[in-house]
Structure 1
Amino acid sequence: MSEIVVGVGTAEGAGLRAVRWAAERASARSARLRLVHVVDEAIESGGDARLLLAALEGARATLDEALEVARRVDPDLAVVSDLEQGSPIEVFERCSRTADLLVVGSDWHGGRRASRRGVHSLRVAAASRVPVVVVPDIDVAMRTGIAVGVDGSEVGARALAFAADEAERRGWPLIAVHAWDLVPLSGGEYGYGGAMVAVDDLTEAAHDVLEAALAQTIADRPSLEIDRRVIAGDPVIALSDAAEEAALLVVGSHGRGALARFLLGSVSHGVLAHLEAPTVVVR
């Protein structure tokens, strides 16, 4: 049986929304839902037994509340609960080794300064081996559409496949966004690799990239409604704008270097820092 893991940091706000989101997807996919709460290792290392006991009791109560939320979504849902102690990043990285999807809550959105939970969601997304859904405390119940960043890359293709599958399953349009952003030089031309390129040429090339990337999706899902958007501008802003009207945003991660698996690319990091909807980061 496939499994969706959700981090249960709190039974309020984004934490509650994350549990509900994960439960709804697990129900739709006939997957098992694993509720995971991590008591930070810093509490145990502090040496205060009463504080640790209180943290463990609070964690059990939070897991019980999360279980009630999941049961309200689907009384027959297969649910297991895990209470862990240690580093939250390490625990969720380990959980991601056997999961199909990892879901965490975050209260970092709308350009506001990150809280500790917001920072944790970024680090969990960077360390995970499977797609991660970061759920903000934003009500998207009245929205439809799955927005996805399309860039023609291999990881972008995986993000597109994830988004198209979700859009088709829900009967919603796919909002395919391709954004390009180059530094203008003069005379309406842009510098790129030492060359001067006209804006019209760049725009046409961007449309070609989008159409090429969508070709397989169109062939596989001919009835899927696709809203194509080619935008000259910052990809983070373009995707965040699309996310404001969508129920879900999907992006690919482009971490670079020797520690690529523990890094997020600038675009995926940017949209997670300005959450406007539940956001999936696909590796």
Structure 2
Amino acid sequence: MTSDIVAPVVVGVDGSPTALHAVRAAASQAQRRHRPLRIVHGFIWPLMGVPLGPAVGAPTDGGLRNQAQRCVDEAVATARTAAPEVPVTGAVVDGGAAAVLIAESRDADLVVLGNRGLGGFAGLLLGSVAVQVSAHADGPVLVIRDEPRSDGPVVVGVDGSELSQEAVRFAFEEASRRGADLVAVHAWLFPTPTGPGDILPLSYDLDAYREQEERILAEAVAGWSERYPEVPVRQRLVRGSPAPALLEAAREAQLVVVGARGRGALGGLLLGSVSHAVLHHVRVPLAVVRKPRTVEGS
């Protein structure tokens, strides 16, 4: 991208009701971030070698390509209604939905998508596209399940890792844009072996260990609280597993933010166990944050 092009908010659509929820959420994000909105539909049928135009004798506006374009046109109209002042463009891009959105993420400020599309099984909470994009996108991904709520705090998971700090930064920015409180959640358990031959103490000083975890939480938010003094912050220290603690805090939230991987994640994993569990079970919008990378025009 050239330096005079502003990195857009990108949203994926497939004609499903959930995708239109994602479009409205993406339009709101573009408005808050002062970004243009780009709507894309991953058009996989050219890869299948099937006819794309109308059948012989059928109306000229029939066929798979025209159907895909109508999907994008509907989404563009929805976005313009939701945020009339946001510049909106739409495109049908050849390729699978996940591959298209991952490619789009390289030049995007944020990628937004619904949790399940038309191809999702009714019993699943999360579709394969949402999992793949959350795991492989180059930047932050916002997954929308239903029509987002506008009240409640922004909740962020804290574990002291470098990537957790990126999640905290993202959460403070979102809370500031939304005029919302921020709840920072840090869950802790006693150390467990992480590899063969690990030697752990036979007993622990519970108070000392809790104080250590309190410091991790306090230090994670301290600098950002100074930068965003208008954001009320509540620190929540939970003795237990991180995913259940975040899901409990998410009950009244308007947004949950997690790092793609935490300090307990294996180096080869693109999506850690906590972010994966929350992604599958949280009922409110979830932002999955990766380490920052430079996007021209951002």
TM-score after normalising by structure 1: 0.86
Structure 1 position 61 matched with structure 2 position 70: yes
- With over 3 angstroms needed to count, the CA separation of the structure-2 counterparts of 1:11 and 1:119, relative to structure 1, is closer
Give the corresponding residue for 2:180: 172
Secondary structure class of the residue paired with 1:159: helix
Give the corresponding residue for 1:233: 240
Letter in 2 for 1:199: L
Following TM superposition, by how much is the alpha carbon of 1:51 offset from its aligned partner in structure 2, in angstroms?
8.4
Give the corresponding residue for 1:5: 10
Secondary structure class of the residue paired with 1:197: coil
Checking the alignment, whether the CA contact within 8 Å between 1:96 and 1:102 is kept in structure 2 is yes
Following TM superposition, by how much is the alpha carbon of 1:198 offset from its aligned partner in structure 2, in angstroms?
3.5
Secondary structure class of the residue paired with 1:82: strand
Mark the runs of 5 or more structure 1 residues left unpaired by the alignment.
185-191
Q: Which of 208, 219, 224 lines up with 1:201 in the alignment?
A: 208
Q: Distance in 2 between matches of 1:7 and 1:256?
A: 29
Give the corresponding residue for 2:296: none
Q: Distance in 2 between matches of 1:76 and 1:101?
A: 19
Q: Write out per-residue CA displacement over residues 39-85 of structure 1, whole angstroms, 9 at most, x where no aligned residue.
A: 22xx3344331689733222111111111111112223111111012
Q: Distance in 1 between matches of 2:78 and 2:85?
A: 13
Q: Distance in 2 between matches of 1:34 and 1:179?
A: 37
Residues 68-217 of structure 1 aligned to structure 2 (within 5 Å): 68-107=77-116, 113-114=123-124, 118-141=127-150, 143-182=151-190, 194-195=200-201, 196-217=203-224
Mark the runs of 5 or more structure 2 residues left unpaired by the alignment.
1-5, 55-61, 193-197, 291-298
Checking the alignment, whether the CA contact within 8 Å between 1:107 and 1:137 is kept in structure 2 is no
Letter in 2 for 1:6: V
Secondary structure class of the residue paired with 1:77: coil
Aligned residues: 265
Residues 26-65 of structure 1 aligned to structure 2 (within 5 Å): 26-40=30-44, 43-49=45-51, 54-65=63-74
Secondary structure class of the residue paired with 1:231: strand
Following TM superposition, by how much is the alpha carbon of 1:200 offset from its aligned partner in structure 2, in angstroms?
2.9
Secondary structure class of the residue paired with 2:230: coil
Checking the alignment, whether the CA contact within 8 Å between 2:116 and 2:130 is kept in structure 1 is no
- With over 3 angstroms needed to count, the CA separation of the structure-2 counterparts of 1:50 and 1:63, relative to structure 1, is closer
TM-score after normalising by structure 2: 0.82
Q: Which of 22, 35, 56 lines up with 2:26 in the alignment?
A: 22
- With over 3 angstroms needed to count, the CA separation of the structure-2 counterparts of 1:210 and 1:138, relative to structure 1, is same
Checking the alignment, whether the CA contact within 8 Å between 1:89 and 1:127 is kept in structure 2 is no
Q: Distance in 2 between matches of 1:252 and 1:129?
A: 13
Give the corresponding residue for 1:188: none
Secondary structure class of the residue paired with 2:127: helix
Q: Percent identity?
A: 36
The root-mean-square deviation of aligned C-alpha atoms, in Å, is 2.3
Letter in 1 for 2:40: V
Which structure features the higher share of strand residues?
1
Q: Which of 256, 279, 282 lines up with 2:286 in the alignment?
A: 279
Secondary structure class of the residue paired with 2:252: coil
- With over 3 angstroms needed to count, the CA separation of the structure-2 counterparts of 1:20 and 1:138, relative to structure 1, is closer
Letter in 2 for 1:90: A
Residues 239-258 of structure 1 aligned to structure 2 (within 5 Å): 239-254=246-261, 256-258=266-268
Q: Distance in 2 between matches of 1:126 and 1:257?
A: 13
